[in-house]
Structure 1
Amino acid sequence: MPPKRKAAAAVVAAVIESDVSEGGEGGDSDGFVPEESESEDSQPEMEVEVDGGKNVKPKGKATKKKAPKAAKENGDGEGEGEEKKKPAAKRKPVKKEPEEDDEPRVRAPEFNSSYVPIPFKGRIGYACLNTYLRTSVPPVFCSRTCRIETILKQGEWTTAGLPFVQSLALQNAKDLSTLIRWNEKYKIRFLRISSEMFPFASHAKYGYNLDFARETLGEAGKLAMKFGHRLTTHPGQFTQLGSPRPEVIKASKKDLEYHSQLLSGLGMEGQADKDAVMILHMGGMFGDKGETLDRFRKNYAGLSEDVKARLVLENDDVIWSVHDLLPICEELNIPLVLDYHHNNIIHDESMRAGTEDIQQFFPRIKATWTRKGITQKQHYSEPCEGSVTGREMRKHSPRVLNLPPCDDTMDLMIEAKDKEQAVFELYRRYGIEDGGGAKEVAPHERSDDNRPPKKGEAEREEVPEEELGMGGPEGRVYWPLGKEEWLTPRKRVLKKKEVEDLEDGAPVKSTRGKKVKKEENHDKEAMKEEDNGEEAPEPMPTKKARRKNGVKKEDDGEEAPEPMPAKKARRKNGVKKEIDGEQQSTAPPPAKKSKRAAGPSKSITSTSTLITLPYTNEKPRRGRSAKEIVHPPPPTSLMDPESSGLSDLDIMDTEDVAVVVGEEGDV
């Protein structure tokens, strides 16, 4: 046995012996391998990896073991000079099978109030996007954006990039007026404007002023004031005034100024302008809530007066509860937005989930609004069905089924996936606003947009811009839960068709439309021939059917020739075919001559067995039998240097393999 293997075996044996004697897992509790059978100079030491006491294997290169210095001085290695024990050997974690829990997952119970604010006198709204208008042709929405890379591809920033971004923003602002008119038609008078209306307006490098869109924004603001609609915004999650990073504070202040300029650009006056607020989350905790609140106080004091007049705080579903935010809102005169859904996920330990216990804070929360003369608003949403954990509950359900026990005069923002359809659902459920006057859409049919006609359809008259996406004269804009595909044309679905298997008469389902089409065309041609008095020829079965079933056709009483074996099988088994009663030679083809400079070439052949392969220089084409192929005479054996065209052959012993090698090693 080589020395290294012998050393490894000795070390492994020592480890196993120690494991058995001490009952440990491959050594003592510190992972130290005892050295009972080893002297300091006898054998090299190797690292040993222990896997849960089951597998012990050497790891890495062998290193010569050195005697501990203290042990040499003290003789027995005990006392103060005792060698420091090695760290425990790394053990691979054992993946435990999850224990089966027969008990079903159950969410903590909610204690809800029985009060329902009906009749509801406030305004109910949705956030940012209208699903019906978004699927119109052309689409109507207020969040067109792009990537900075796309902006830079337009050319120089001032002459090409900025005008490109501003064109997107102007279209967004223009569609805001369409959204307001649509909402008024269906009695929805509360809307949250998308923060992406002006792409990159608050960017540190590519930001810009909104004065170019003041006229377009002003038209939307006039409509909102005329119809008595409320418009608000909600800056994103990265806008945090409690962050410890100065760059984040700088970007947050710039983003708040952008939202303030957007709302001011609407040109609304009086109560409509006061009610145009910006909802903000406190953000992260950054280690300590108290320090975060102190930073928020400091940064809030540095905001402009217009931002302060519009800024409101909202409890979130991760860190900050109503208990955390209500005191600082009362201190800094900031209105607090109560989100019922967030409160069910994050709330103080003294409270229970649901709408019952939170009502004790209603008077204090309302006072934060009346103190500034702003109409109070709240947020309501519901978790998806079956959600249990906090992470699962954060996802909003497509629609809501209940009204919270709020004041019947306040404004209520519904945060749901189906947007305006969730408002219609509440209208229908509680008889609010006569359901908004929205009727159910006709599946996959729309007459209120300029969708191009399908193939074979007559062209329709172009819908005027003011009627685009308005639901037509009947107001068909409501789609049932889970039927969003009704808003778009029906997709063409290729169904599987049954075709007859002409061999045994059994029906065969074809999964490819092209094959079905070929069968249909063949049937049509056969019918034509029958009409002319001619018998239609029986079609050949499909290639797949022949291969799968191994069908042997009998034509005119003659058995079809046996199919040629696969190329791989011929090479592997050395098959010798008989064609026309003659045995075909199976000698291998002649070696290809190298295009390199002429010179002596070499070959390596077997002295025991030369493998013979079937040879032909032509493959049968479709419609041509193997009998029609003319095979050239087989080449002479490679064992004859003169006939093979090779010179200076070197014959070597190999394992039953014949290989031809050129001068430079080409095979």
Structure 2
Amino acid sequence: MNIGYACTPLKIHNKTTRTFTLKNYTEEKLIECIKFNLEDLYEILKYNAYNDIFMFRISSDIIPFGSHEINKLNWSNIFKDDLKKINDIITKNSIRISMHPGQYTVLNSKNLSTVEKSINDLEYHAKFLDSISNDKSNKIILHIGGAYDNKKDSINRFLNVYNSLSKNVKDRLVIENDEKNYSIEDLLYINEHVQIPIIYDNLHYLCYEGVDTDSFKILNSIKDTWKKRDGKIKVHYSQQAIDKRIGSHSNTIFINSFLNYLKSIKDFDIDIMLEVKDKDFSSTKIVNVLKELNNTLDESNKLSALKTYEFYLKERNLELYNEAEYILYENGMIEFYKFIDKCASINIDEALSLKALKEFYLCTEKFLSKSEITHLNKLFKNNDVYKAKEYIIKISRRNKLDDNLKNYFLHNI
């Protein structure tokens, strides 16, 4: 079982979403953006592999204007060495990658121009994946699209367009249930006609059906849509955010709910893409839980987990850190994370938060410029904890201070 997250890690400064506006387009800017995006993709994959995160969704923005007619650049040739380097780290570590085109890539649209642009977008995504991996288990995830007041006709439009796609795209494409238009049952109907793998999203299922379900039943119904060449069944897992609109992703993956999910899918060997706001924090959380269940957890995992949440605990209650440390070493990682989850409901004490922030700042001050220090001290003087955290994140990314970014409490999640 592999665990992954989408697009941009929080714990390191690297990102693959550099772009610019169309009106400012120049080939020089495009080349510069692609260069930095590819360099950072390599660093992200290296970081993920080091932390036993072997799944990753690559941003569609990795090549700015990837499917736009303005982009005539032969990027796959210009950056062949960078792409080969990325291929090597993917292959060496058996990392499973994917891409997920956005809401404007709609194959069943009634607008022919939209369909044409959508096909071009899928060709771009397939080309990029082909440039870094020959493994066809690395997929492009797509929703069916709109229902347009007639689901049957809309499905038929999807089928007709799908049948016109290149083999390259078909080899990569998988479909996912959504929260309001197309259910797992609808996707199974589509699969009967075009044999396309199905991704099960548990939160989308809950939104569409209005009730939760036994994930075993769903996985059992879709397992045969995944052939050997497609790799292991892949699912999207998320949890409903408290007090947010239905379908909103939670800030973190809460362990009790995940363990219940894990119990329901125990008979399947699947890969799980986490869709959650704290991204690689939750990925590490789940990786550590699986390690403990498999008796492969080591001391470094414990030390890292404790350091990650140190100030998160201290800004709520000074005793919480000592309690968490005791739980971790006496009761184990799973109980430690349950305790961390419980602490999420404890209100932050403003005075303690400021104290924790200043304690943290003392460890960071030597890496900052005079102007950065002056601005931070101004925020401290105004007791503006939220903005101080945001500013530390900003300057930590700018100055590549990844040790700062690994502190959960800074991210205002």
TM over 0.5, shorter chain: yes
Match of 2:411 among 481, 484, 489: 484
1:369 to 2:296 alignment: no
* Cα distance, 1:397–1:163 mapped onto 2, change above 3 Å: same
Supply the RMSD in Å over aligned alpha carbons.
Answer: 2.8
Q: CA deviation at 1:204?
A: 3.1
Match of 2:172 among 310, 319, 331: 310
Match of 2:265 among 401, 406, 414: 406
Counterpart Cα distance in 2 of 1:361 and 1:470: 40
Matches within 5 A, 1:179-578: 179-206=44-71, 208-211=73-76, 212-266=78-132, 268-269=133-134, 273-347=135-209, 353-356=211-214, 358-370=215-227, 372-387=229-244, 392-401=245-254, 402-403=257-258, 404=261, 405-407=264-266, 409-428=269-288, 431=292, 434=297, 437=301, 438-439=304-305, 440-441=307-308, 444=360, 451-454=367-370, 471=403, 478-480=406-408, 483-484=410-411
Unmatched 5+ residue regions in structure 1?
1-121, 135-139, 152-160, 458-467, 487-667
Counterpart Cα distance in 2 of 1:132 and 1:299: 40
* Cα distance, 1:304–1:477 mapped onto 2, change above 3 Å: same
* Cα distance, 1:194–1:446 mapped onto 2, change above 3 Å: farther
Residues 352-387 of structure 1 show CA distances to partners (whole Å, capped at 9, x for unaligned) of: 72232x532322311111364422110000111134
Q: What's the secondary structure of 2:297's corresponding residue?
A: helix
Counterpart Cα distance in 1 of 2:192 and 2:365: 50
Instruction: Give the AA of the match of 1:262.
Output: F
Q: CA deviation at 1:186?
A: 1.4
Counterpart Cα distance in 2 of 1:253 and 1:220: 26
Residues 473-503 of structure 1 show CA distances to partners (whole Å, capped at 9, x for unaligned) of: xxx86434x54169xxxxxxxxxxxxxxxxx
1:144 to 2:18 alignment: yes
Q: Work out whether residues 12 and 405 of structure 2, in 8 Å CA contact, stay in contact via their aligned partners in 1.
A: no
* Cα distance, 1:450–1:148 mapped onto 2, change above 3 Å: farther
Q: Work out whether residues 380 and 412 of structure 1, in 8 Å CA contact, stay in contact via their aligned partners in 2.
A: yes
Instruction: Give the AA of the match of 1:218.
Output: K
Q: Work out whether residues 200 and 218 of structure 2, in 8 Å CA contact, stay in contact via their aligned partners in 1.
A: no
Counterpart Cα distance in 1 of 2:227 and 2:364: 43
Matches within 5 A, 1:32-43: none
Instruction: Give the AA of the match of 1:142.
Output: T
Q: Identity across aligned pairs (percent)?
A: 27
Counterpart Cα distance in 1 of 2:157 and 2:84: 36
Instruction: Give the AA of the match of 2:121.
Output: D
Instruction: Give the AA of the match of 1:132.
Output: K
Q: Work out whether residues 65 and 71 of structure 2, in 8 Å CA contact, stay in contact via their aligned partners in 1.
A: yes
Q: CA deviation at 1:409?
A: 2.4
Q: Work out whether residues 201 and 209 of structure 1, in 8 Å CA contact, stay in contact via their aligned partners in 2.
A: no
Residues 56-91 of structure 1 show CA distances to partners (whole Å, capped at 9, x for unaligned) of: xxxxxxxxxxxxxxxxxxxxxxxxxxxxxxxxxxxx
Residues 380-406 of structure 1 show CA distances to partners (whole Å, capped at 9, x for unaligned) of: 00111134xxxx122111111132233
Counterpart Cα distance in 2 of 1:447 and 1:254: 49
Q: Work out whether residues 141 and 176 of structure 1, in 8 Å CA contact, stay in contact via their aligned partners in 2.
A: yes
Instruction: Give the AA of the match of 2:201.
Output: D
Counterpart Cα distance in 2 of 1:303 and 1:446: 57
Q: What's the secondary structure of 1:413's corresponding residue?
A: strand
Q: Which residue of 2 aligns with 1:530?
A: none
Q: Which residue of 1 aligns with 2:395?
A: none
Q: Work out whether residues 182 and 470 of structure 1, in 8 Å CA contact, stay in contact via their aligned partners in 2.
A: no
Residues 498-531 of structure 1 show CA distances to partners (whole Å, capped at 9, x for unaligned) of: xxxxxxxxxxxxxxxxxxxxxxxxxxxxxxxxxx
The structure with more radius of gyration: 1
Unmatched 5+ residue regions in structure 2?
312-356, 374-399
Q: Which is helix-richer, 1 or 2?
A: 2
Q: Work out whether residues 10 and 405 of structure 2, in 8 Å CA contact, stay in contact via their aligned partners in 1.
A: no
Q: Work out whether residues 201 and 208 of structure 1, in 8 Å CA contact, stay in contact via their aligned partners in 2.
A: no
Q: CA deviation at 1:454?
A: 4.1
Counterpart Cα distance in 1 of 2:175 and 2:366: 42
| TM norm structure 2 | 0.72
Q: What's the secondary structure of 1:231's corresponding residue?
A: strand
* Cα distance, 1:181–1:371 mapped onto 2, change above 3 Å: closer
Counterpart Cα distance in 2 of 1:260 and 1:201: 11
Q: CA deviation at 1:133?
A: 1.4
Counterpart Cα distance in 2 of 1:447 and 1:143: 30
Residues 278-323 of structure 1 show CA distances to partners (whole Å, capped at 9, x for unaligned) of: 0000111122111111111111111111100000000011211111
